[in-house]
Amino acid sequence: MSKGYVKNTILDGALGVSPASATGIFGAVGVCAAPTGGIITLTTAADAKEKLVDGPLCDVLVQALSMASTTVYAIGLEGTTEGAIGQVAHTGSGKATVVASGSPRNDYEVIITIEEGGLLNAAIAHITLDGVDQKHFTIPTGGSYEIPGTGITLTFTAAEESEFVAGDTYTFMTEAPKASNAEILAAVDTLLNSAYDYEWIAIAGVSDATLWAALDTKATEAMNNYRYIHFKAQARYLDDEETVDDWVTALTGSERGTTVGGRVQVCAGWVECSDPYGAIDVRGALGWSCGMSAQKDVMEPVDHVGSSALSGILRLMPDGLNDGHINALDNAGYLTLCQYIGLTGVYITHGRMFAEATSDFGLEERRRVMDLACKNVRIAQLSYINSTVTIGADGSAEGLDMFKAITEQVLDNMVAAGQISSYEVDIDEDQDLLSTETLRTTIRIVPLGKMSFIENTISYSNPNLSSGGNE
């Protein structure tokens, strides 16, 4: 007989320590001036500007990272559809011409002002790009001038009888390159198949119901592979031929699509804004949505008015947008922006998700809290996969106390963090583990309440009347 011994069996996980949190960390996909060729990590607005240079993805991430200190896993795409340049509009008396060509890297408003008149190699001009003054330059002899960093080349043409005239302006608009749905979804797959941990994926640039439905499918597939995420996208701006009523009717009607899975958020808000680099432009709300979400813990509503107004916004767009339009878009499930009488600034109306009217996940904070709970519970329970359980004489499972305690500890941590109000974990000990080898639990979570509306009853009070009058 061997000599006796004392043996210790050490159980891990008894403290219920939560796994590392990806709160506020997100992925992003979109067109930029410097395609990345894969996933890159960004942590500051300067980082995004340096590595992405320009384009819709750069715009969204510069805005988001100016608001929140977080990490973004980004994929910059080249885009299969080149940027477009609009017609050059000339104002003034001169007969000289300016033609714009090339492949613009972003949406720009370009204004060329003639400072000193004359022929080529004599006239002096300066360019304003989205409200930011560029350097003054003498129009070169060959007439060709490339606007640095934009992908746009200007061709100036003048002759003795058609000189440039001081004070004349030449104005045009451009459209950014666009990625196909196939490009975007391929990049989404790259993020989904990576080991990076994040809460959502933002799709920079305007998209439509076809892509939103595909993203909803991707989110469901990701959930089935134990990645609990959602998507953020941007709805289009109104066309030149549309009224605001036409635009809202289209977005809430034929262009809304049927996506209701509660894992896609679409921003319909647009603003005129000044970005951290001084450019003034009309942009969608996606960058602000990402920045506000990244600032907050999972249970904190992005529409909390007390969390301050959104930064860098000059005014809501389009002109003529009113509360009726905002309510219509909000009721259709879009994330919108609004203003409150008595307060300055612009706020997120509600953190809407595309979901059924009766869904528990019509608000972003409900989506984020549930996803975090699912992730943390799963990780805590993984160590019990393929473990054994004693079966009593009556066929019931025994010795599940530790398993239940580990599950409860994760949820206790969420209660302590103020992320949920309470919870209940129920395990039926009479389930047939011998034949099914499947343990089923029921977890019920009580979320935080929300004060979306406040109703007061206010009146004057006469102390004399209430006390029965003077004696």
Every domain of the chain and the residues it spans:
26-80+178-365, 84-175, 383-446
- CB within 8 A of 332, min separation 6: which ones? 251, 252, 256
How many Cα atoms occupy the beta-carbon half-sphere of 423 within 13 Å? Answer: 25
* pTM, entire model: 0.88
pLDDT tens over the chain, length 471 residues = 566 545 454 445 555 555 567 889 999 999 999 999 999 999 999 999 999 999 999 999 999 999 999 999 999 999 999 999 999 999 999 999 999 999 999 999 999 999 999 999 999 999 999 888 888 999 999 999 999 989 999 999 998 889 999 999 999 999 999 999 999 999 999 999 999 999 999 999 999 999 999 999 999 999 999 999 999 999 999 998 999 999 999 999 999 999 999 999 999 999 998 877 777 889 999 999 999 999 999 999 999 998 878 988 999 999 999 999 999 999 999 999 999 999 999 999 999 999 999 999 999 999 999 999 999 999 999 988 888 888 777 767 777 888 899 999 999 999 999 999 999 999 988 888 888 888 899 999 999 998 888 899 998 888 888 665 555
Q: Where are the beta strands (DSSP E) in 22-164?
A: 26-31, 40-42, 72-77, 84-85, 89-91, 97-102, 109-116, 124-129, 132-138, 144-147, 152-157
In terms of Cα–Cα distance, which of 306, 282, 277, 304 is closest to 293?
Answer: 304
Give CA torsion, residues 100, 104, 108, 109, to 10 deg.
Answer: 0
Other Cβ atoms closer than 10 A to 466: 8
**Whole-number Å distance between alpha carbons of 283 and 281:** 6
Q: Tokens representing 228?
A: 């609990």
Sign of CA dihedral 117, 118, 123, 128: positive
387: nearest Cα among 379, 377, 399, 376: 399
Cβ–Cβ under 8 Å, residues 156 and 145: yes
Q: Is 37 left (phi over 0), alpha (psi -120 to 50) or beta?
A: left
- CATH fold, domain 26-80+178-365, is Rossmann fold (3.40.50)
pLDDT value of residue 9: 45
Contacts of 207 (CB under 8 A, 6+ apart): 181, 184, 233, 234, 235
Q: What pLDDT, on the 0 to 100 scale, is given for residue 46?
A: 95
- Provide the β-strand partners of residue 73: 27, 41
Cα–Cα distances (Å) from 248 to 270, 299, 326, in that order, read: 12, 30, 9
Strand order in the sheet with 270-274: 280-284, 270-274, 313-317
- Nearest partner of 90 among 145, 158, 192, 138, judged by Cα: 158
Closest CA to 232 of 51, 358, 364, 331: 364
The strand pair at 441-446 and 422-427 is best described as antiparallel
Distances (CA, A) of 326 to 192, 245, 282: 33, 11, 17
Contact 156, 98 (CB under 8 A): yes
Strands 169-175 and 109-116, how do they pair? Answer: antiparallel
State pLDDT tens for residues 14-49: 555 555 678 899 999 999 999 999 999 999 999 999
Distance CA 269, CA 206 (A): 12
The pLDDT value recorded for residue 183 is 97
pLDDT reported for residue 184 = 98
